[in-house]
Amino acid sequence: EEERLQAARKESEKRFQDLVQGLDAIVWEADAASLRFSFVSQRAQTVLGFPTDRWLAEPDFFSTRIHPEDRAKVMATCRAALARGEDHELEYRALRATGDVIWLRDIVHVVPGALGKAGQLRGLTVDLTELKRADEALRQSEDQLRQAQKMDAVGKLAGGIAHDFNNLLMVIRGDGDLILRRLAPTHPLRKNAEGIREAADQAATLTRQLLAFSRKQVLAPKVLDLNAIVSGMQTMLQRLIGETVNLVTVPEPALGRIKADPGQIEQVIMNLAVNARDAMPDGGRLMI
């Protein structure tokens, strides 16, 4: 009968060991006063990379494995729960043997000791790292979706503004042409009228940019001569940068052609010119 009981006990212990060691969590037991481990399952070595005998041998193994930025908060929470004798849960970052950061959750049961104080702690430690990574990936996807929705809304707004602005430009362009037809070639205001027409044309390129941004108009790349584009913009650029900045253009006779949307290229050149003007508040020389 005794042999049968011993065999049953061994079978029960083996079943318990298999259960504990097979869990996808660290099963542990520790002294409540010192927080020194008295038992830890083999899963601990897989999760943190330290052999289980180090968990048992080092008195402060628990605290030293916590990430330095989380250590004080975790220890304070743990001590407060022990003082009340309450079961508790902790979530924190820890350092593996390789130095990698992982996320852990401790589920702690407090076993009362003498005089009603906490005697032992028994708990499970679960690796949350993959869950945290999945949560972060989901958060980033949600942020990207919100940003895409914002950009779509901005694009629609830009398209609406571009259409309205383009209608005003057609009025300005038409009035400029009408004035030019009524001015003699030598009239002193003729250059001003030509400037109005050129500015309207340049503004029309901006509306094309806005329409392209709002996906209402496809860009139209062409084979371009940059020298011709810069030369054609010279009068407009000089008005744009003002009288205190001296504009000098130096074309390269052997310059190769490019394929690009002319409106985009003109916008790039205008942006560069305005930036240069703003960088020279007291005047200067801008060379293209």
Residue 41, Cβ density class (10 Å: 0-12 exposed, 13-18 middle, ≥19 buried): buried
pLDDT of 76 reads 92
pLDDT of 258 reads 94
The model carries a pTM of 0.49
pLDDT of 177 reads 86
pLDDT of 213 reads 56
pLDDT of 19 reads 58
pLDDT (tens place) for every residue of the chain, 288 residues total: 667 677 666 666 556 565 556 567 888 899 888 889 998 888 888 889 999 888 899 888 888 899 999 999 999 998 898 888 889 999 999 999 999 999 999 999 988 877 667 788 998 999 999 988 888 888 888 888 888 787 777 767 767 777 778 778 888 888 888 898 888 888 989 888 888 888 888 788 777 766 665 555 556 789 999 999 998 888 778 877 888 899 999 999 999 999 998 877 887 888 898 889 989 989 999 999
pLDDT of 69 reads 94
pLDDT of 94 reads 94
pLDDT of 279 reads 93
pLDDT of 82 reads 87
pLDDT of 23 reads 66
